[in-house]
Structure 1
Amino acid sequence: MTVLPDWMRPPRAEGWYADDLDHLPEAPRHTELIDGALVFMMSPQRVWHMHLIDTLKQTLIAQAPPGIGVARELTIRLDKRNRPEPDLIVTTASLDWDRTWFAPEDVLLVVEIVSLESAHRDRTVKLRKYAEAGIPHYWIVEEENAAPVVHVYELDGPTKTYAPAGIVRGVLDRPVPFPLHVDLNGLIPRR
């Protein structure tokens, strides 16, 4: 058995805290904190996944009204023990150069593009945690025949749970969090 490096040992019995992530320079890129445990993206990402992040980010930026920004692969500090890293965040917060996380109240939309490694967390754990934190909109993007399919969720405020608002193929037209028109098939070049 390989000995764990010192930086991987939790600093306290109850695990890691959200603020600890900013003090782990040795941690791999794309390290998340879920329920006090570090979660690393261990498998390499596919080109489909990375291309979709880039093209969807540019599409959201192009349609966002003033005062709305889009960030890629930064974390959201949900609470003391949870700081997940979604693929895209649509936010009202400023995109300061030194920012490493966003508060949930500043997040309008979270987008997770499912990979084999993240599928369970994206569909269950993060779905629940983002809703409990009060994030109003959540999209889970899956691959179907090389095209993106978006599972759209909206927050039901009184219950702090997400209600499914549709499964979208082809063209996504949404009035919230701001008017959006996304040609999903156009986000991925055809071979």
Structure 2
Amino acid sequence: MTSEAPEPLPDWVRPPPHGFAAEDLDRLPGLPMHAELIDGSLVFFAPQTAIHSCAVSLFQSALDRAVPKDLLVVSRMTVILDEDQRPEPDVMVIRASGWKGWDQTYFRTRDVVLAIEIVSRDTRSRDRKRKPLLYAEAGIPHFWRAETETGELIVHVYDLDPITEAYALTSVRQSRLKLAIPFDVDIDLTEIHRL
């Protein structure tokens, strides 16, 4: 009986002494798709579930119809918050001025108006606790957290309090997400079952 030696790990698996930097995500060869950087550590995603994929599609299409001309909707791209923070929100609304071209791999904090995280089983702690804290500290003015555990789409809407530099929960929406801030939007959340 012969046993095969395990394949050697790529060099990038071993972080540098002070952790990875945001720019490293563009330089590491063979990095898995949709890797993000949280607190200087690489984070990878489990396979996406169907409900997660449908929620991303629903938000992307509804927001595409709603955003003013000076804003754009993007999904599954990273945002550089600081030197060792480069998370990948599921959906973002960005200022059109932040779009630099088709080869762009990230946006800057100043470009982001709204970050949306759709909570998955493997991302619960990051999406509910760590990422909102990071987005608020970076000054992203609006954050939505979408929950799907019940099979329904429930959206928690947060706005940044400039005094405390923390998010304040402004509403929780289950069947319809109708808001005037940061722009007029009306999303039938039950549409997720028709995608």
The answer for the alignment partner of 2:151 in structure 1 is 146
* 3-state secondary structure, aligned to 1:147: coil
Residue by residue over 1:66-98, the C-alpha shift from the partner in whole angstroms, topping out at 9 and shown as x without a partner, is 011011100010000000001001000226201
* 3-state secondary structure, aligned to 1:38: strand
The answer for the alignment partner of 1:35 in structure 2 is 39
How many residues align? The count is: 188
Say if 1:56 and 1:187, in contact at 8 Å, map to a contact too. no
Give 2:92's match in structure 1, choosing from 72, 86, 89.
89
Whole-angstrom distance in 2 between the partners of 1:82 and 1:163: 22
Say if 1:111 and 1:139, in contact at 8 Å, map to a contact too. yes
* 3-state secondary structure, aligned to 1:182: strand
* 3-state secondary structure, aligned to 2:194: coil
* 3-state secondary structure, aligned to 1:7: helix
1:62 shift after superposition: 0.7
- The alignment status of 1:183 with 2:174, answered yes or no, reads no
The answer for the alignment partner of 1:46 in structure 2 is 49
State the superposition RMSD in angstroms. 1.5
Q: What are the residue-to-residue correspondences of 1:31-180 with 2, within 5 Å?
A: 31-41=35-45, 43-92=46-95, 93-94=98-99, 96-143=101-148, 145-180=150-185
Whole-angstrom distance in 1 between the partners of 2:68 and 2:100: 15
- The alignment status of 1:26 with 2:30, answered yes or no, reads yes
Whole-angstrom distance in 1 between the partners of 2:107 and 2:193: 28
* 3-state secondary structure, aligned to 2:158: strand
* 3-state secondary structure, aligned to 2:144: strand
- TM-score (norm. length: structure 2): 0.92
Whole-angstrom distance in 2 between the partners of 1:168 and 1:144: 15
Unmatched tracts of structure 1, length 5 or more: none
1:133 shift after superposition: 0.2
Whole-angstrom distance in 1 between the partners of 2:139 and 2:67: 21
AA aligned to 1:39 is V
Higher radius of gyration, 1 or 2: 2
Residue by residue over 1:89-136, the C-alpha shift from the partner in whole angstroms, topping out at 9 and shown as x without a partner, is 100022620111111111000000010001100000001000000000
AA aligned to 2:189 is L
- TM-score (norm. length: structure 1): 0.94
1:186 shift after superposition: 1.4
* 3-state secondary structure, aligned to 1:131: helix
Whole-angstrom distance in 1 between the partners of 2:127 and 2:65: 26
1:7 shift after superposition: 2.2
AA aligned to 2:154 is V
